[in-house]
């Protein structure tokens, strides 16, 4: 019987076989899994350097078997630039949350995108600062209650949420910019496909790539995992539409 059994699902080889510290229902684990699967499938383990953020995924380097560095808050794109310049044939990605990338690190991500050098950013948009306890982020929706917008975010007091993918797609530097969602099996499959294109944009030397992942934060949203997925579909997607915002020629 054994010889007839075919492996259809297994632990990715680039996964460090550790239990993550993420909350139940959080989609960091899904995004991590997709990265590990692609590193395996694209045979990148030996040439990958992950650049990790400050935020819930600060310990992301513990979960993978490739080389990693831990950046200062928001500075991952600058650090990735320094790493890529020294070894252009390596595969260098940043993994950043919305506070990290869209607030304190906005200058670094915009200029990395504008330079257009082939590095890849995986951008986790869960609408709040998860690790510090659910404060308002640049991506917090209008009306959304957080620990620092207890009555709900208002444009008067807090300005408007930032659509990072659309904004960076205006620049000439990027080769591939997409927004995906990690709320459902079909969207996770689409997310993996977008990440594959982003990785390819780097490997083929075409340019900078970014995949924004709509993600959940059940603990700080005060919702169950299932309710969190529903909230992504009902409330988050209308403001942050899914899609590819930039695909230059040659990106597969």
What is 109-123 written as a DSSP string?
HHHHHHHT-S-EEEE
Window of 4-12, 105-113, 177-185, 208-216 that interacts with other proteins by CB under 8 A: 105-113
Indicate if the alpha-carbon torsion angle 189, 191, 197, 200 is positive or negative: negative
Which residue in the set 13, 41, 87, 205 belongs to the binding site for other proteins (CB under 8 A)?
Answer: 87
Which residue in the set 30, 35, 53, 64 belongs to the binding site for other proteins (CB under 8 A)?
Answer: 64
User: Binding of other proteins at residue 164 (CB under 8 A)?
Assistant: no
Which residue in the set 8, 17, 24, 86 belongs to the binding site for other proteins (CB under 8 A)?
Answer: 86
User: Binding of other proteins at residue 80 (CB under 8 A)?
Assistant: yes
| 183 close to 92: Cβ distance less than 8 angstroms | no
- 67 alpha-carbon distance from chain centroid: 18
User: Binding of other proteins at residue 252 (CB under 8 A)?
Assistant: no
Beta carbons within 8 Å of 204's beta carbon, 6+ residues apart: 118, 250, 251, 252
**Residues recorded for the chain:** 252
Q: Which residue, 111 or 196, has its beta carbon nearer to other proteins?
A: 111
Question: Would strands 243-247 and 67-70 be described as parallel, antiparallel, or unpaired?
Answer: unpaired
Site residues, other proteins (CB under 8 A): 16, 45-49, 51-52, 58-59, 61-62, 64-72, 75, 78-87, 90-91, 107-108, 110-111
């Amino acid at each position: 019987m054994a010889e007839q059994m075919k492996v259809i699902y297994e632990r990715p080889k680039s996964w460090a076989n550790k239990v993550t510290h993420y909350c139940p229902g959080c989609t960091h684990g899904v995004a991590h899994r997709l990265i590990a699967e692609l590193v395996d499938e694209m045979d990148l383990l030996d040439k990958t350097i992950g650049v990790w953020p400050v935020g819930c995924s600060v310990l992301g380097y513990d979960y993978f078997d490739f080389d990693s560095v831990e950046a200062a808050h928001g500075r991952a794109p600058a650090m990735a630039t320094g790493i890529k310049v020294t070894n252009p044939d390596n595969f260098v990605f940043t993994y950043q949350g919305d506070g990290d990338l869209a607030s304190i690190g906005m200058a670094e991500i915009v200029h990395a995108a504008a330079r257009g050098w082939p590095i890849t950013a995986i951008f986790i948009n869960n609408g709040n600062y998860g690790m510090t306890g659910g404060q308002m982020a640049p991506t917090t929706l209008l009306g959304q209650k957080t620990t620092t917008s207890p009555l709900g975010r208002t444009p008067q007091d807090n300005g408007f949420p930032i659509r990072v993918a659309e904004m960076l797609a205006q620049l000439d530097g990027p080769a591939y910019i997409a927004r995906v969602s990690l709320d459902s099996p079909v969207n996770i499959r689409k997310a993996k496909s977008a990440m594959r294109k982003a990785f390819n944009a780097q490997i083929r030397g075409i340019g900078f790539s970014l995949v924004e992942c709509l993600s959940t934060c059940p603990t700080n949203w005060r919702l169950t995992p299932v309710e969190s997925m529903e909230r992504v579909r009902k409330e988050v997607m209308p403001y942050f539409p899914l899609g590819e915002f930039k695909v230059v020629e040659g990106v597969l």
